[in-house]
Amino acid sequence: MSYNNILLEENNGIATITINRPKKLNALNQETIKELHEAFKTANEDKGTKVILVTGSGEKAFVAGADISEFADYDVSEGKQLAANGQKILFDFVENLSTPVIAAVNGFALGGGLELAMACHFRVASDNAKLGLPEVSLGVIPGYGGTQRLPQLIGKGRAMEMIMTAGMIDAKQALTFGLVNHVATQEELLPLCEKIAGKILNNSSVAISAAIKAINANYKDGVNGFDVEINDFGNCFDTEDFTEGTTAFLEKRKADFPGE
């Protein structure tokens, strides 16, 4: 598939998705959200892809939010549809992918941009990054999962303050809050993400996808995460990766996981 608003490239097991609307600070319009869905789906289904990175084009923004010009005249029903559809095809979709997704936050991550970064499995930021959920300054609330994932990641009180003030925090503060795992210079951001991805690549992709599922289970209503863990722990014993991992350990060699 060809894309108008994003770039997708694959290199040595790492797929990089770049949101490419720099003149609009990579704001997420509906077409971009659909293209992101397709790109994440394609990368996740590619057996050769072991880690997905998502970043923004240019040095100014990761994503400066949902495209305000598209929804300024929406009514109640269109607003609900916008949030429901976006959550389904992009934000929940990314969170539940079996392939690890790292957000390389290379500048402004505002509104839907921070929500996209939070839907990723973890985040690394450049030192010029600014993160926030400014929706209440526009008369709305976050609609792509921000009211749920921000408190999960940084705690309820901090999330309440960030959302109520519509303020931005810098990369250093985001690191202190645990919203991002690492901070690097702009130049070092992607190399650092690739270095972390390289460590993930050495491990069993089958076990990693089971771990993502079990960790996410903690945040799902009506699901007991400990039960999911027990079940998926057991299922690992029937995989080729488990046989290879344990055999390699006992033979004192590095495992070469088939990913099955």
d(CA 79, CA 245): 49
Position among 40, 91, 108, 257 found at the interface with ligand COA (CB under 6 A): 108
DSSP class of residue 138 equals G
Q: Can 115 be counted among the known catalytic residues?
A: yes
Query: Is residue 134 part of the contact set for ligand COA (CB under 6 A)?
Result: yes
Rounded to the nearest whole angstrom, what is the least distance from the CB of residue 68 to ligand COA in the complex?
4
Rounded Cα distance, 37 and 100, in Å: 15
Does the protein bind ligand COA through residue 165 (CB under 6 A)? no
Among 110, 184, 214, 228, binds ligand COA (CB under 6 A): 110
Among 14, 17, 19, 25, binds ligand COA (CB under 6 A): 25
What's the rounded Cα separation, in Å, for the pair 255 and 6?
35
User: Mask of contacts with ligand COA, 51-90, x by CB under 6 A?
Assistant: -------------xxxxxx---------------------
Nearer residue to ligand COA within complex by CB, 27 or 119: 27
CA–CA distance from 134 to each of 109, 138, 139, 147, 243 (Å)? 10, 7, 9, 12, 49
Closest approach of ligand COA to the CB of residue 66, in Å: 5
Q: Which two tokens stand for residue 138?
A: 């526009």
- Residue 54, classed as helix, strand or coil, is strand
Residue 135 designated active-site: yes
- Pick the catalytic residue: 115, 194, 229, 240? 115
Instruction: Report the candidate in 100, 249, 106, 82 with the shortest Cα–Cα distance to residue 187.
Output: 106
Side chain identity, residue 151 = P
Q: Quick one: 5 or 204, whose CB is closer to ligand COA?
A: 5
Compute CA distances 161 → 4, 46, 65, whole Å.
37, 40, 19
Token pair of 30 as six digits: 């509906």
Q: Which of 14, 17, 19, 27 binds ligand COA (CB under 6 A)?
A: 27
Contact between 118 and ligand COA (CB under 6 A)?
Answer: no
Angle (CA) 253-49-88 rounded to 5° is 130
| C-beta closer to ligand COA: residue 6 or 43 | 6
For the bound state, the minimum distance from the C-beta of residue 178 to ligand COA, rounded and expressed in Å, comes to 22
- Active site (catalytic) residues: 115, 135
Binding site for ligand COA (CB under 6 A): 24-25, 27, 64-69, 108, 110-111, 134-135, 138
